[in-house]
Amino acid sequence: MTFWLNGDYQTDRMTIDIADRGFLLGDGVFETLLVEAGVPTFLGEHLDRLQYGLAALSIDAAIPDNISNIIAGLAEKNGLGGEKAAARITFTRGPSDRGVLFPGSHDGASTRLITLARAPAKTTEEPLSLVMSQYVRCEKSVTSRHKTTNYLDNILARNEAKTMGAEEAVMVNSRGRVACASSANIFVIKEGGDVVTPPCDEGALNGIVRRLLLDCAVETGVNLSEAPLGLELLQQGEPFLTNSLIGLRRARLKSGGRAPAALQVEIFNQLEAWYQGRLDRSLTESAPCL
């Protein structure tokens, strides 16, 4: 596999410093992007969130101006130019001496990595099966507000779901309300057609697809809003998940989930069609200038 590390394309996997804080302490941020035919989707939105995370963690790292071209190069070098792929942009604070305190003078020492792999294929139109996780999403933690490399709670929740025969795990916050899935945001279509998703102060990450739907609610023609999400509403409504790789996917609680009403199916299809149009527009906007 060819990857991009600190300014160069490389193939040698043994290139990360053993003192790198991202590896030792989870001291970093990342973004995962859908790439189609070498073109990254919603690149501007992802880079804005990456910059926001870097600032929040006080990581001094310059984001390359030519990331679109770098990703296109990775697609070509890895034979993924004609396929859907997942790009991951990872920035860490870089190597430092032992301890948790920030290092002193740190000019240019951050680690910047971009990788590309084949995107997971959608194998069925059936709703993703959900189970409730025992792992709590701490809504007051910085790791709930930013996409950091400290991802252990989400990892444990996702693997817990797998052992229970489900595809995703629902994580609740310290108040017992729904925050998110292990790797996606959660929306619920109510019986009357309104759609709600937990606000970020409930532990939801401000996902790119989530933000697009909320910001463009008028365009979708659907009444979308943020509101605390109790378990009863999750059980009574029609949930769906969003992230950059799956887009919008219907979901269903593995135990006790009810079949959707015709209106709920219509609302989901309406949102999915709007998102596909917005995705197509993003591909045109993000095409690299080669």
Q: How confident is the model at residue 288 (pLDDT cuts 50, 70, 90)?
A: low
Nearest CA among 178, 183, 166 for reference residue 131: 166
pLDDT at 217 over 80: yes
Summarised one tens digit per residue, pLDDT across range 2-53 is: 999 999 999 987 788 999 999 999 999 999 999 999 999 999 999 999 999 9
Over residues 227-245, mean pLDDT: 96
Summarised one tens digit per residue, pLDDT across range 82-138 is: 899 999 999 999 999 989 998 875 555 899 999 999 999 888 889 999 999 999 999
CATH class for the domain made up of 128-281: alpha beta
Q: What is the mean pLDDT of the chain?
A: 93
Matching fold, domains 3-118 and 128-281: no
DSSP 8-state secondary structure symbol assigned to residue 126? S
Summarised one tens digit per residue, pLDDT across range 56-90 is: 999 999 999 999 999 999 999 999 998 999 999 99
For strand 39-40 and strand 28-36, is the pairing parallel, antiparallel, or unpaired? antiparallel
- CATH fold, domain 3-118, is D-amino Acid Aminotransferase; Chain A, domain 1 (3.30.470)
pLDDT at 258 over 80: no
For the chain, the structural domain boundaries read: 3-118, 128-281
For the packed helices 208-215 and 262-286, what is the interaxial angle rounded to 10 degrees?
Answer: 110
Identify whether the C-beta of residue 240 lies closer than 8 Å to the C-beta of residue 189.
yes
Q: How confident is the model at residue 228 (pLDDT cuts 50, 70, 90)?
A: very high
